[in-house]
Amino acid sequence: MDLSSVEAIASLPVSNLERAVSWYTTHLGSEPSESVDFGTFFACGGGTSFFVYQSEFAGTNKGTALSLRVGDFEGAVADLRGRGVVFEEYDFENLTTVNGVATFPDGSKSAWFKDLDGNIIAIGSQ
């Protein structure tokens, strides 16, 4: 199998599907693109998507579960803050955030926030 020719979809476990769909709609401004018995898809740019599904394991992942690349990083961060998203603060050996934003040597930026179940979502500049 050649993965470069298949569609990849991030999957995020949530403790309450209805509540999660409402949060993603309200806080990320994304409307569901398809609902199935066990979860909901949200369409993203470039033909990509992510899927939320109800699971007893929601919030147990301690790493980034979903990454979003945006053209207007500062505008996207301001929009998310306006929607009530709170960005995480990190102070690791090779990564420190200031006001929730990490700036890398190449000038790119990233910020991380959590959904209602603690899934870590990254937003980064292109």
Dmax (CA) of the chain? 45
Pairing verdict, β 49-54 and 9-14: parallel
Residue ranges per structural domain of the chain: 3-55+64-125
Length of the chain: 126
Mean of all residue pLDDT scores within the chain: 93
Looking at this protein, which amino acid is placed at residue 117?
A: D
Is the domain 3-55+64-125 a CATH 3.10.180.10 member?
yes
Helix (H, G, I), strand (E, B) or coil at 20: helix
pLDDT band at 8 (very low <50, low <70, confident <90, very high): confident
Buried-exposed string 17-40: b where 16+ CB fall within 10 A, e elsewhere: beebbebbeebbeeeeeeeeeebb
pLDDT, tens only, 62-114: 999 999 999 999 999 999 999 999 999 999 988 999 999 999 999 999 999 99
